[in-house]
Chains A and B, each alone.
Chain A
Amino acid sequence: MEEKIIIAGFGGQGVLSLGQLIAYAAIHDGLEVTWLPSYGPEMRGGTSNCSVVVSDKQVASPVIAKPDCLIAMNKPSLFKFESRVKEGGIIIINSSLTDIKAKRQDVKAYYIDANDIALEAGNVRTANIAVLGAYVKLRGLFSADTVKQVIEQQFAAKPKVIPANLKAFELGYNKFD
């Protein structure tokens, strides 16, 4: 088993931390993982992406040419990475910030209004967690319980934000069958 994920969006959308939560879930389940961010001169507001590779064997390359899964948190990210998704792979698109559809016919696209869900969960900054919920459901690599535990661990220093994050996760998770 090897799953290659590219997560992309604006800086500040929690793109890197979304990737890290997947990486923590992998470690929790005893899997191997690499998390590789793009890094650049922009501190805020620029584009941001990370590559996560989850595997049951030692990960060879942390660099991904063709992801199995693309998470596009905004429209420019969809433009930039759509062509690279592996045939038969999936794209999860934040439809709150993307007013177009994926063009590829050989991959499956899923749309989630992550910013609206985040508002419903009570914290606009949880859009990335709503998408995480969708990802977990759609790929079935990790159990919802595992990821909820990881969320609680990672936000342990800020216990106030845990309920909204868990709610956003649930809402994202339950959006798909």
Chain B
Amino acid sequence: MKKLMKGNEAIAEAAVRAGCRAFFGYPITPQNEIPEYMSWRQNEVGGTFVQAESEVAAINMVYGAASAGVRAMTSSSSPGISLKQEGISYICGAELPCVIVNMVRSGPGLGGIQPAQSDYFQAVKGGGHGDYHMLVYGPSGVQESVDIMYQAFDKAEKYRCPVMILGDGMLGQMMEAVELPEMKDISKLPKQEWAVTGKGRGKTRKIINSLYIQPDELEEVTHRLFDRYAEMAKNETASEEYMTQDAEIILTAYGTVGRIAKSAVNMLREKGIKAGLIRPITLYPFPSKAYNDLAKKDAVKQFICVELSMGQMIEDVKLAVNGLKEVKFYGRTGGNVVSPEDIVNAVIKEVK
């Protein structure tokens, strides 16, 4: 039978079932249920849990555990994720897999604790210093979060880069019925040849490092990272479309706002307005082609991007639409959440 679970707890359980055996975190609202859950759950499965002295320390503990080839993760919320950026950049540079959950709250600064999507740029454009990206997912519900989390370590190991799950306070606090996947047998997980185990000497020794003092060498490494991103774009790009076949107005939103926009599409259709929705599931790589294909359709008149921010994803939408159609924006910020009715009103205003 399905189980009613909070987003935060469901993600934690899915991570454990995916083979996560090391969790390092630091308290911050609205993601506290993840470290709280992990503190006893890792103990049950023989894993490691450390409440670190800071987010900076937590991400560096992830760096250490990931270096040893163990499935390691951390979670936080916006101000804490800012602190982790140093470590994330090093993890990307050292080509280590791990999972990072960001249950976004409103910013900038200490901001607020209510849901927001204002960390989009930070998540998909890099966030820390240097040329890098992560595989970033924006799940819209608890079940989708579980399904993504369950695959996240496999993807992280395949591309040797972190996977970020970009949620928001709403996703973390919301309860939905979920079907949990079975527990993976960690003894059967692929061994990571590059991991440090203490056995390496001479030619067999392993070095986990992101320092390349020779420009040519660093350039080569960076090209290797970007070749992987290209591969990722080919294999992992995902989006959902809803009622776009004959749509004239394309709403677009990700995460929890994606499903609120879905309700808005239904309400608009009842009013005779031909609305549809495209919801990116991967935020990096961004599903540009799906947008471009829609933009090329004669029926499509305009796009309206809905975000809990002043407009961040809209830049990627505009790049994908490439001037073929108009792209408008509707959003709330500061921790305010949009309702389907708000979106409907915004669309009607645009259509007039």
Q: Which residues does A use to contact B, with CB under 8 Å?
A: 20, 23-24, 27, 32-37, 39-41, 59-66
Contacts and interface: CB of A to CB of B under 8 A. Distances in A.
A32 B339 contact: no
A24 B338 contact: no
Contact of A60 (B169, B177, B263): B263
A66 B345 CA distance: 14
A33 B30 contact: no
Interface string B8-40: 000000000000000000000110000000000
Contact of A63 (B173, B175, B340): B340
B259 interface: yes
A66 B170 CA distance: 18
A65 B339 contact: yes
B29 A63 contact: no
A35 B2 CA distance: 15
Nearest to A19: B175
A39 B29 contact: yes
Contact of A62 (B2, B29, B174): B174
Nearest to B337: A63
Contacts of A27: 1-2, 4, 177
B237 to A, nearest CB: 23
Interface of B: 1-2, 4, 29-30, 113, 141, 169-170, 173-177, 256, 259-260, 262-264, 266, 337-342
Contacts of A61: 259-260, 262-264, 339-340
Contacts of A34: 141, 174-176
B30 A39 contact: yes
30 contacts: A20-B4, A23-B175, A27-B1, A27-B2, A27-B4, A27-B177, A32-B177, A34-B176, A35-B176, A36-B174, A36-B175, A37-B173, A37-B174, A39-B29, A39-B113, A41-B29, A41-B113, A60-B259, A60-B262, A60-B263, A61-B259, A61-B263, A61-B264, A61-B339, A62-B259, A63-B260, A63-B338, A64-B339, A65-B340, A65-B341
A20 B341 contact: no
Nearest to A26: B177
Contacts of A65: 339-342
Contacts of B170: 36, 62-63
A63 B339 contact: yes
A36 B175 CA distance: 6
